[in-house]
Structure 1
Amino acid sequence: MSKIYVIHENKEWTDHLIQRLEELGIPYEDWLLDSGKVDLTSVPPEGIFYNRMSASSHTRGNRFAPELTNAVLAWLEQHGRTVINGSGALQLELSKVRQYLELEKFGVKTPKTIAAVGKEELLEAAASFEGKRFITKHNRAGKGLGVQLFHSVEGLQQYLESESFEEPVDGITLIQEYIESPDASITRCEFVGGKFLYAVRVDTSEGFELCPADACTIDDLFCPVGEEAEQPAKFQIREGFTHPILEKYEQVLAANDIQIAGIEFIQDHNGEIYTYDINTNTNYNSDAEARSGQYGMLEIAKYLEGKHTQEEVLV
C-alpha cells in the first residue's frame, strides 16, 4: 500500500506531524536516518516521501545523517518517486552560502556576508567591515549555531583564540554585517505547498539562537531561547501579515523545488528588510499557534494527504 514516508533524524521534531497524520488517518512510515543503508540496486516503495533532514543534525550526534539522506533522495528521485523537499532543498538546508545566492538571484536583499575558512582569513574578512559591528555564524547550521556579535576585529581575534570558539562542521564560518532591529525582533514566514501560510514575530532580546519547536524549550541545550511560561509572547503570529517580499520568497522556493519552508528576515531602523535564513526543516510553536488558531503541522499533513491522494488516483 502506498504511504507517506517521513525522512528525518530527530524524533522530537517529527512527533507533532506524526500525530496529525494519525488524526487524519493517513498511512505513513517513519524513516529515521540517523544511521542506515540504501541498496542502490533495489526499487523504492510507492508513496510520497517528505524530507525533514536538518542541518543541525550533528549537534544531536547524527553527524552523517544529511549525507545518508542525500544518497536516499538521489535513489528515490532516480526512480521517479514524489519527494517533498528533495535534493535541491537539502543542498540549501546545508549551506547558507547557497541560500544567500539564491535569494539574491530573485532580488531578495541579504546582509553583506563573507565566507571564510581559516582564522587569519576570518580576521581579514572582519576588517573589511570598516569598524561596523558584525556577527559570525556557521555555514551549515540551524538554531543560530556559531552566532556571535562583535564590535571590533580585536574582539573577534580574542574569540578565535579562546576555548569558546566553535569550529563549523563544514569548516566554513560566515562574517556578516549586523542588522539591528529597533524592537529586537525577527519575522519568520512559513510556507506549505510553496504558498505563504503565516508569519510569526520572534522576540530576539535574549539572544540569537532561535527555534520555534517545542522540543527546544525542554531538552535541546543548543536552543536555549524557546518559549517559556513566564514569556508567553516570545513567539507571536502576525495576524494578517502581507508584504511584497512574500511573492519573491515563493519564487525562490519554486525555483528550488521546495514545498515546505520557513524564511526569516529582519527589518532595520529604516524599515529595510534583510533576509538571512531559509529553513527547509521548519518547526512550529504550539503556544503561538493555539493563540492564533493556525496549525502548521496540520497544514503539512493535509498537503501530504492531497499529494498522496493524487498519486493513488494516477496509480
Structure 2
Amino acid sequence: MSKIYILHENDEWTVHLTERLEELELPYELWHLDQGTLDLTAEPPEGIFYNRISASSHTRNHRYAPEFAGAVLSWLERHGRTVVNGTEALNLEISKVNQYMALNQQGIRTPKTISAVGKENILKAADKLGMDSFITKHNRAGKGQGVQLFHSKEALQEYVEGSGFEEPVDGITLIQQYIEAPEPYIVRHEFVNGKFLYGVKVDTSEGFELCPADACSIEDQFCPTDAEESEEKAKFEILENYRPAIIDDFEAFLQANHIQVAAIEAIQDQDGNLYAYDVNTNTNYNSDAEAKAGVYGMLELAKYLGHLLDPVRV
C-alpha cells in the first residue's frame, strides 16, 4: 500500500505532523536519515516522499544528514517518485548563498552580502562591505546560528580572534548588511503547496534566534514556548488580512525552484524597502499563534500530502 514517507533527522519536529496525519487517517512512515545505507540498484517503494531535513542538523549531532538525504532524494527522483521539497529545496536549505542567488534571479531583493572562508577573509569582507553596522551569519545555519551584530570592524576582529568565535560547519561565514527596521520585528511568510498560507509577525527585540517550533531546545532562549507569556508580549502573531504584493514574487520563486513547503523571512528598512533574508524549507509553526488565529500549518500540510497520495480521500 502506498503511504506518505517523511524524510527527517529530528523526531521532535515530526510529532505535530504525524498527529495530523493520524487525525486524517493517512498512512505514513518515518525515515530518519541521520545515517544508514542506500542500495542504488534497488527501487524505492511507491508513495509520497516529503523532505524535512534541516540545515541545523549538525547542532543535533547529525552532521551528515543533509548529504545522506541528498543521496536518497536523487535516488527517489531518478525513479520518478513524487517528492515534496526535493534536491533543489535541499540545496537552498543548506546554503544561504544559494538562497540569495535564487531569490535575486527572481528579482527579489536581499541584503548586500559577502561570503568568506578563513578568519582573515572575514575581516577583509567587512572592509569591502564598507558599512558602519553589519551582521555575520553562517551559510549553513538554522536557529539563528552564528548571527552576530557589529557596529565596528574592531568589534568584529575581537570576536573573530576570540574564543567565542563560532566556526561555521561548512566553513563559510557571511558578512551582511544590517537592516534596521522601524520597529523590532520581521515577517515570516508561510507557504504550503507553493501557495501563501499566512504571515506571522515575529518580535526581534530580544535577539535574532527566531525558531517558531514548540519543540525548541532550552538553549533556544528566544523560542516562544513560555506558557506564561502574555498576549501583549506574544513573540509570534499571525497577521490578519495580510497579503502584500511581494507574495506573488515569493510564490513565483518557489515555483521556479520546485519548492512546495517553505517559509520566507523578510524585513523592512527605515525607507520601506523589503529584504528577503532566509528561506526555510523545513518550516515549523507556533501552536499558540495558530490557535489564536484559527489556522494550522501542519493540518494544511497533512491535507496537501493526503491529496498527493489520494486526491479523493482528503
Alignment of 1:124-135 (within 5 A): 124-135=124-135
- How many angstroms apart in 1 are the aligned matches of 2:131 and 2:63? 36
Alpha-carbon offset, residue 311 of structure 1: 10
Question: Partner of 1:62 in structure 2?
Answer: 62
Residues 245 and 28 of structure 1: CA distance in aligned 2, closer, same or farther (over 3 Å): same
Contact persistence 1:180–1:269 (CA under 8 A): yes
Q: Does 1:49 align with 2:49?
A: yes
Q: Deviations over 1:243-292 (max 9, x none)?
A: 11101111111111100000000011111101000000000000000000
- How many angstroms apart in 1 are the aligned matches of 2:285 and 2:311? 27
Give structure 2 stretches of 5+ with no counterpart.
none
Question: Partner of 2:210 in structure 1?
Answer: 210
Contact persistence 2:131–2:177 (CA under 8 A): no
- How many angstroms apart in 2 are the aligned matches of 1:303 and 1:130? 46
Contact persistence 1:48–1:82 (CA under 8 A): yes
Alpha-carbon offset, residue 128 of structure 1: 2.2
Alpha-carbon offset, residue 143 of structure 1: 1.2
- How many angstroms apart in 2 are the aligned matches of 1:68 and 1:174? 25
Same amino acid, percent of matched pairs: 63
Contact persistence 1:47–1:311 (CA under 8 A): no
Question: Partner of 1:89 in structure 2?
Answer: 89
Residues 146 and 254 of structure 1: CA distance in aligned 2, closer, same or farther (over 3 Å): same
Paired residue secondary structure (1:69): helix
Paired residue secondary structure (2:215): helix
Alignment of 1:1-315 (within 5 A): 1-216=1-216, 219-221=217-219, 223-227=220-224, 228=226, 229-232=228-231, 233-310=234-311
> One-letter code of the match for 2:127?
A
- How many angstroms apart in 2 are the aligned matches of 1:209 and 1:311? 41
Q: How many residues align?
A: 309
Alpha-carbon offset, residue 57 of structure 1: 0.1
Alpha-carbon offset, residue 109 of structure 1: 0.5
> One-letter code of the match for 1:258?
I
- How many angstroms apart in 2 are the aligned matches of 1:113 and 1:23? 44
Contact persistence 1:266–1:273 (CA under 8 A): yes
- How many angstroms apart in 2 are the aligned matches of 1:8 and 1:131? 39
Paired residue secondary structure (2:310): helix
Paired residue secondary structure (1:215): coil
Contact persistence 1:9–1:53 (CA under 8 A): yes
- How many angstroms apart in 2 are the aligned matches of 1:296 and 1:185? 21
Please identify runs of 4+ aligned residues in structure 1 that moved more than 6 A. none
- How many angstroms apart in 2 are the aligned matches of 1:246 and 1:196? 7
> One-letter code of the match for 2:275?
Y
> One-letter code of the match for 1:100?
Y
Contact persistence 2:5–2:47 (CA under 8 A): yes
> One-letter code of the match for 1:51?
N
- How many angstroms apart in 2 are the aligned matches of 1:72 and 1:119? 34
Give structure 1 stretches of 5+ with no counterpart.
none
